[in-house]
Structure 1
Amino acid sequence: MSSRDSRVDAYIERSADFAHPVLEHLRAVVHAACPDVEENIKWGCPHFGYKGGMMCSMAAFKHYCSFGFWNHKDVVGKEPKEGAGGFGKITSVKDLPSKKELTGYVRKAMALKDSGVKKERVKTAPKPAPKLPDDLAAELKKNTAARKHYEAFSPSCRREYVDWINEAKTDATRQKRVATTVEWLAEGKHRNWKYMT
């Protein structure tokens, strides 16, 4: 049986006045369609789960609300709208599909979860190895240890150093970053070694 999370009550209460009826309507539809819904706050906004997995979420902003399904395209049958959530920017209940249509979407999301369908991850091609800047290449020729560590690093680790150097706004900053890079590489350190545990 579904239960209401007091944190969701508080979220709705502190939202802008226009958002209250929208959020309450969405919450009521989800609870009515899915008696076993699990409410939670994730990433600062209300999420509705089912059988331990995420099903849909809603949020309120200054001038609009958003609502969307975790597997939006599979549930609704089309790509999510641009901007916010799957249904675009919602300023009133009138901007939402009908209660009957929303109920159907919630039930379809439940059926997808029951059948084991998971959100499809977008596969991206791996980025090519970064082009070694000439000034860093010249310094690495002088320091064998730094060069060996650089060459042993993955392309993403190399890219962190290259991007850091290329983002310097002045030549003085760039040269300082090249020197620091060589020093850290000689010690086998990654660019963000201070934050690694």
Structure 2
Amino acid sequence: MSRDPRVDDYIAQAAEPLRPLLEQLRDMAHRALPEAEEAIKWSVPHFTVRGKNVAGMSAFKAHCAFGIHGDAMSRRFIRVTSEADMPLAAELMPLLREAADRILGDRFPGKALVERKPRPEIPMPTDFAAVLTATPDAQAAFEQFAPSHRRDYLEWITEAKTAATRDKRMAQAAEWIAEGKTRNWKYDKPRKSS
């Protein structure tokens, strides 16, 4: 597994008592999943196999967490506050391997993950299209957004129960979009400058 420098940076920015714990968790993931790649997803380090998330880890103020992905029955979260809480490699590594096999469908061919069908596209409402056209910065930014971010705005606008609410949401959306903000921008983690 190659090491992603962004994961190095993430660990370096964690509180001092958590750094060695994160490094140990990372090392166990490397040993259990030699074919995995590191990535930053949702602003935290993840370990992926063939593009599928197998595990992720996060640093908080006084603890770190290690989550093993899978279906609802097999998902696990481990909270580590000190060396005493660290899971044994003999216990954690098989869980990681099982999760990778399950997620990829290699070990349980009959239980491979079902490919999800994409959600139906939400058609652009003509009144919102007119608002975007009247605000060129918003129009340009909206076209550059990821499909999920465009969908968030379209759902928010089309789910309004009254015309007044819809108009208010469209005006607010145009303002935020022109500023390059996603629909849920208040919850986005600020990006650290290099």
Equivalent pair of 2:156/2:169 in contact (CA under 8 Å):
no
> How far apart are the structure 2 equivalents of 1:24 and 1:119?
33
Distance (whole Å) between structure 1 residues aligned to residue 102 and residue 11 of structure 2:
28
Q: Is the 8 A contact 1:21 1:92 kept in 2?
A: no
Aligned to 2:36: 37
Choose which of 84, 90, 96 in structure 2 pairs with 1:100: 90
Select the residue among 170, 178, 192 that pairs with 1:193.
Answer: 170
State the SS of the aligned residue for 1:3. Answer: coil
C-alpha distance in 2 between matches for 1:22 and 1:69: 16
> In the alignment, is the contact (CA less than 8 A) between 1:160 and 1:191 conserved in 2?
no
Contact 1:75–1:108, Cα closer than 8 Å, also in 2: no
TM-score normalised according to structure 2 size? 0.57
CA 1:73–1:103 in structure 2 vs 1: closer, same or farther (change >3 Å)?
farther
Amino acid at match of 2:101: A
**Could you tell me how far apart the structure 2 residues matched to 1:90 and 1:109 are?**
20
Give the deviation of 1:93 after TM superposition: 3.3
RMSD of aligned residue pairs (Cα, Å): 3.0
Q: Give runs of aligned pairs for residues 112-127 of structure 1, distance below 5 A.
A: 112-115=102-105, 116-117=112-113
Give the aligned length: 130
Report the CA distance shift for 1:157/1:5 in structure 2 as closer, same or farther (over 3 A). closer
Does the aligned pair in 2 maintain the 1:71–1:119 contact within 8 Å? no
Q: 1:71·1:118 contact (CA, 8 Å) conserved in 2?
A: no
Percent identity reads: 32
Aligned pair in 2 of structure 1 residues 157, 6: CA closer, same or farther (>3 Å)? closer
Alignment of 1:91 with 2:81, yes or no, is yes
Cα distance between partner residues in 1 of 2:24 and 2:115 = 26
Q: Tell me how far 1:3 sits from its aligned partner.
A: 0.5
What TM-score comes out, normalization by structure 1 length?
A: 0.57
Aligned to 1:132: none
Match of 1:4 in 2: 3
Task: Tell me if structure 1 keeps the 8 A contact 2:36–2:49.
Answer: yes
The worse-fitting range, judged by mean Cα deviation, of 10-19 and 66-75 is 66-75
Q: Is 1:27 matched with 2:23? A: no
CA contact (8 A) 2:70 2:103 kept: no
In the TM superposition, structure 1's runs of 4+ consecutive aligned residues that sit over 3 Å from their partners are 72-76, 155-162
Rounded Cα–Cα distance in structure 1 between residues aligned with 2:67 and 2:103: 15
In structure 2, runs of 5+ residues without a counterpart are 106-111, 117-154, 178-194
